[in-house]
Structure 1
Amino acid sequence: MGHIEAVCVSREKGELKSPVEGAEFRKDWGIEDDAHAGDWHRQVSLLAGESVDRMRKKMPELSHGMFAENIVTRGIDLCALAVGDRLMVEGGVVLEITQIGKECHNGGCPIQVATGECIMPKEGIFSRVLEGGRVAPGMSISSSSGV
C-alpha cells in the first residue's frame, strides 16, 4: 500500500498543474475544477513520486504538477499496473486504469527538451473515476492487483 504525496489541478489544458490541499473527485467526470475532467477515458493522471525523484537528479527545480499529473503517489508500483486495474483511495474513491503513457505535446515538453527525457510517455498512468469523493495528500492508495 502506498500514499498520495500530492494532488494537482489546472484550469486550462496545456498548462502546468498546481498542488492543492485536496480535491473533489466526481464519478464519471474526474476532478472538480480541473481542465482534464469530462466524459472521456483520461479524467485523472497519476505519476509515481519515485519517478519524479529520478528526474529531479537532472532538474532539481521540478515540483509537483510540472508533468501535468493530477496525483503523485509514493510506495505503489504504478508501472506494474495494467489497463483495467483499479486503484482504491482511502475514503472510497476508486479509479480504473484506462491508459498507460502519453506522448509529450508538440514533439517534446519543456522537461524533455531540457533533459532529453520525459517520464510521462512510459510511466504516466491515466484513469477514470468509478467512485467519487475527496482526495488529499497523505491518504492511502492501493491497487486491485496488489502492487
Structure 2
Amino acid sequence: MGKVIAVCISEEKGTQKHSVPEAEFIEDWGIKGDAHAGKWHRQVSLLSHDKIEDFRARGAQVADGAFGENIIVEGFDFAKMPVGTIFRCNDVVLEMTQIGKKCHHGCEIFQIMGDCIMPREGVFTKVLHGGVIRPGDEFVCCEKGQEQ
C-alpha cells in the first residue's frame, strides 16, 4: 500500500507538469486537462517518491512534476513491478503498460545533473476505470490481471 504525494499535469506538451489539488481520470483517456492524455498506452505516468528523494539527495533541485510524472507515490518501487500490474486509488484503476522511456538528452534535468531517473524509474499506465485522485489518497497494488 502506498500514498499519493502529488498529482501533476501540463496543459501543453513541452511544458513542465505542475501539481494540482485533484485530478479527474477518464477511462481509456488519461487525466482531464493533461496534454499527454489520449487513446494510447502511456495515458498516465507514475514515479516513486523515494526515487525522487534519492535524486534530490544527490543535489537535484526538482519540483513535483519536473520529470513529467503525473502521480508521485510513496511506498512503491514501480520499476521492479511487471507490466500488467493493476493499481487502484479510490475509484481509479490503472494498468501498467510500460517501464521507462527513452529520454531526450536535451531535457533540463539531464543537462544540469548528467542523469535523469524517468527513463529507468518512471512507468506508464492506461486508465481502466475513471475517478478522482488527490494528494494523500491511498494507492494500492492489486495482483497482476485483477481489478479488485
TM-score calculated relative to the size of structure 1: 0.93
How does 1:130-141 map onto structure 2 within 5 Å?
130-141=128-139
Query: 2: CA distance between counterparts of 1:53 and 1:142?
Result: 21
Cα distance in 1 for residues equivalent to 2:143 and 2:84: 10
C-alpha distance in 1, partners of 2:128/2:36?
Answer: 16
Q: 2:127 aligns with which of 104, 129, 133?
A: 129
Letter in 2 for 1:133: G
Contact 2:100–2:120 (Cα < 8 Å) also in 1: yes
> CA separation of 1:60/1:118 partners in 2, compared to 1, >3 Å: closer, same or farther?
closer
Q: Note if contact 1:76-1:142 (Cα within 8 Å) is conserved in structure 2.
A: no
Shift of 1:15: 1.2
How is 1:67-86 mapped onto 2 (pairs within 5 angstroms)?
67-86=67-86
SS in 1 for 2:79: helix
CA distance in 2, matches of 1:38, 1:18: 19
Measured against aligned partners, the alpha-carbon deviations of 1:121-145 in whole angstroms (never above 9, x if no partner) come to 1100000000000000000111124
Equivalent pairs counted in the alignment come to 144
Distance 1:9 1:81 in 2: 24
Instruction: Provide the rounded CA distance (Å) in 2 between the counterparts of 1:15 and 1:58.
Output: 24
Please name the residue that 1:97 is paired with: 96
Write the distance in 1 (CA, Å) between the matches of 2:5 and 2:73. Answer: 5
Give the one of 107, 111, 116 matched to 1:113: 111
2:66 match: secondary structure: coil
* Separation of aligned partners in 2, 1:59 and 1:25: 33
Per-residue deviation at 1:60? Answer: 4.5
The residue aligned with 2:55 is 55
User: 1:73 and 1:127 mapped to 2: Cα distance?
Assistant: 14
1:121 alignment partner, SS class: helix
| Secondary structure, aligned partner of 1:56 | helix
Q: Distance in 2 between matches of 1:59 and 1:41?
A: 33
- The Cα of 1:116 is off from its aligned counterpart by 1.3
> Aligned with 2:4: secondary structure?
strand
Structure 1 residues 108 and 82 mapped into 2: Cα distance closer, same or farther (>3 Å)? farther
